[in-house]
Amino acid sequence: MSTRTPTPRKAWFTTAGAAALSLLGVLAAPSIASAAEEKVIRIPMTTAGPGDLDPVEGSTTYENRVASTFYETLLEYEYLVRPYTLRPLLLEEMPVVEQDGKLWKFRLRDDVYFHDAECFPGNKGRKLVSEDVVYSWKRLADPEHTYENWWLVDELIAGFNEYKEAQSQRVDAGEAFDYDAPVSGMRVINDREFEIELTEPNQQFAWKLAMFQFSIVPREAVEQFGSEFTRRPVGTGPFIVKDKKDWVVGSGLTVYRNPNYREVYYPTEHMPEDVEAGLTEAAGQRLPLVDKIEFGFYEEAQPMWLKFKENTLDYTTVPQFGFEEAISRRTKKLNRAWRSKDIRMDQVPLLDFIFRSFNMEDERVGGYTEERKALRRAFNLAMDWDEMNDALYYGMALAYDGPIPPGLDGHPDNRDHRVENSTRGADYDKAREELRKAGYKIGPDGKAIGFEPIRFYTSTGQESIRIVELLQRNFETVGIQINPVYVNFPTLMDTTNRKLAPMFSFAWGSDYPDAENNLQLYYGPYESPGSNHSNYRNDEYDEMYRQLRTMPIGPERTAHIEKMRDILIEDAPFCGSLARTRVYLTHPWVKNFKPTETFYTYFKYLDVEMDHPDRSE
């Protein structure tokens, strides 16, 4: 691995209270609508904001949500169709797959242009070509980006690993990364056609083509803007940033309709229930449908909830404290007072893996001896997931064993969602047994003697505090101690990327509907700063994961997944799991919103009735 130090990232957007800065080098034409007629939709994000908008460095749902307004991928999800299916976005048609799944042939649309920006001659965005795809994906191999998302392509494309290694050696020798060097499995035919040869057939490649980390960017922008590119987006998407002051760090970000966006229309494909929900009325309308999106950032949920009730946010997710106010515990439906305002409630079961994880390289909680496994199993057995579900998620989540959420192969789909070797708590007697195996004596009060606290990293916010308080109460029953360390989300990611957190709290939403996406979280070569933040290594598991990537859908693959799941439960690199049902509340003036957290390209479909009598500014 290269030892090259990444280029420092410069602050680019203003912070709250700072003076307005000069215009961004994106020379955007005025919005199609006048200021008085502008359609503006106001979107909340429960975070301080995205940390990075460069697709090859972004890794969180918050970065995905914002980056998907600027950048586009070869494929996207059908907006209204369930189960999830893919369709062309930057492509003219779906890829042609040959050689039993190893050779993929692509043809780009002929009407896609990058945003107008000063990196192009005359400040006019040029047409997208095949070389842009190859260049964008090669950036995943550049050590400047710390291989943040290399796990997505590792051992996937013929010659790509060899290219990465050769470029790493060049950089280590003080030479520049060579983006013009060939990759045998990436072949440009002409400006619109190219081929990708895989090392072996891969079941997940099509899904990955819709992930925002595979977005296409122009080389000119990356090279001209340098370290500022991470906050200076130039893509092909339906929205743009006009001015530096449109991003106030920790507060919000405003994006505007791309006046040069190609002809793209609201979809006609839908589910039967979408007709009654009014989701088909916009079929055939040109996109995007709004002139401006105002993203508001809320580290604390209370201000977000108040703004929604004041009618100054257009939709919201329901925070923990909001369930009692808005939803009947008995029926799990919206209370009458809220229904009287024509507020719509959507319950969205998430492909969700809520867990507390251990750093397997930590000297106290890591390791693979029977004593260390027993210690981690004691943590598992001391956690009361049912109490957490009831207290924090209004009983609307689902506790389960393993890392694979409901709806995917390998999930324990029995009544209790348990496996035979389950270590899911709360079972305090078994937790004490495991503590004894870990070398602790249990005192007459039923608590481990001499247990030194473990540092536990988690996000800031009242909801996190409530979760930690519950965990501490559970753990204290058997004498386990944790010292919570509250940090903002970017700091949490940085701490785990650098392997500095002994124990930490995470949530993983599956990138695509395949158990492989969750099982790769524990594949050894993907250790931090890759997706394996537990830094778990098991030779048998790693070999099974490599086999999984090429296995066809069927009973044999399902049994293979279940065995991998059970290995993880035995080694216990995490405590889990919980799958949430996210509850969305939407005001009646918002149109075309079908909530999902599997993809975030849907902002271009949203519309808003600006003159609705209840809508407030």
509-554, pLDDT tens digit by residue? 888 888 998 999 999 998 888 889 999 999 999 999 988 988 888 8
What is residue 36's predicted lDDT score, i.e. its pLDDT? 53
Q: Is the peptide bond before 201 cis (omega within 30 degrees of 0)?
A: no
**Is residue 128 in some structural domain?**
yes
pLDDT, residue 460, reads 83
CA 335 – CA 210 distance, rounded (Å)? 38
Whether residues 224 and 371 share a domain: the answer is: no
Examine the pLDDT at 1 and tell me if it is beyond 60.
Answer: no
148 or 72, greater pLDDT: 72
* Dihedrals phi, psi of 231, to nearest 5 degrees: -125, 20
- Over residues 14-38, the pLDDT tens digits come to 333 333 333 333 333 334 444 457 9
Put simply, whether the predicted model's pTM sits higher than 0.75 gets the answer: yes
Domain assignment present for residue 164? The answer is: yes
**Per-residue pLDDT averaged across 125-151, rounded?**
93
Nearest-angstrom CA–CA distance, 205 and 65: 21
> pLDDT tens across 361-408, in order?
999 999 999 999 999 999 999 999 999 888 888 888 899 999 999 989
**Could you report the per-residue pLDDT of 435-489, keeping only the tens digit for each?**
999 999 999 999 999 999 999 999 887 778 888 999 999 999 999 999 999 988 7
* Mean of pLDDT over the chain: 89
Is position 42 within any domain? no
Question: Does residue 19 sit within a domain?
Answer: no
Nearest CA to 215 out of 137, 160, 278, 131 is that of 137
Main-chain phi, psi angles of 578, to 5 degrees: -145, 135
Q: Write down the pLDDT at residue 317.
A: 93
Count how many domains the chain has: 2
pLDDT, average across residues 174-189: 96
In a domain, 475, yes or no: yes
List Cα–Cα distances, 84 to 79, 87, 512, 582, in angstroms.
8, 10, 9, 18
Any idea what the CATH number is for the domain that residue 395 is in? 3.10.105.10
- Residue 423: pLDDT over 60: yes
Domain shared by 225 and 357, yes or no: no
Q: In this structure, are residues 176 and 4 in contact, taking their beta carbons and an 8 Å threshold?
A: no
Segment 551-597, tens digit of pLDDT: 888 899 999 999 999 999 999 999 888 898 999 999 999 999 999 98
pLDDT at 246 over 90: no
The span from the CA of 164 to the CA of 2, in Å, is 10
Of 205, 221, 236, the residue that ends a domain is 236
Report the percentage of the chain scoring pLDDT > 70. 94
Q: Is the separation of the CB atoms in 564 and 519 below 8 Å? A: yes
At residue 85, does pLDDT exceed 50? yes
Mean pLDDT of 92-109: 95
Percent of the chain with pLDDT over 90: 65
pLDDT in tens, 56-75: 887 777 888 889 999 999 99
Q: Round to whole Å and give the CA distance between 409 and 335.
A: 36
* 382 within some domain: yes
- Residue 33 domain-assigned (yes or no): no
Q: For position 129, which CATH number holds?
A: 3.90.76.10
Kindly list the distances between the CA atom of residue 545 and the CA atoms of 36, 89, 201, 412, 487, in Å, as whole numbers in the listed order.
56, 30, 14, 19, 33
The contacts of residue 106 (CB under 8 Å, 6+ apart) are 74, 91, 95, 130, 133, 193, 194, 195, 196
Q: Which of 547, 562, 579 is the last residue of a domain?
A: 579
Average pLDDT score over residue span 238-251: 86
For residue 351, pLDDT beyond 70: yes
Do 370 and 232 lie in a common domain? no
Q: Looking at residue 530, what is its pLDDT?
A: 82
Residue 426 has pLDDT above 80, yes or no: yes
> Does residue 53 form part of some domain?
no
Task: Looking at the structure, tell me whether residues 69 and 206 fall in a common domain.
Answer: yes
Based on the domain organization, do 75 and 203 belong to the same domain? yes
End-to-end CA distance of the chain: 52
SS3 annotation, 482-530: EEEEEECHHHHHHHHHCCCCCEEEEEEECCCCCCHHHHHHHCHHHECCC
Q: Tell me what pLDDT residue 89 has.
A: 98
Distance CA 69, CA 293 (A): 9
Q: What domain range is 401 assigned to?
A: 352-579
Domain end, chosen from 184, 213, 236, is at: 236
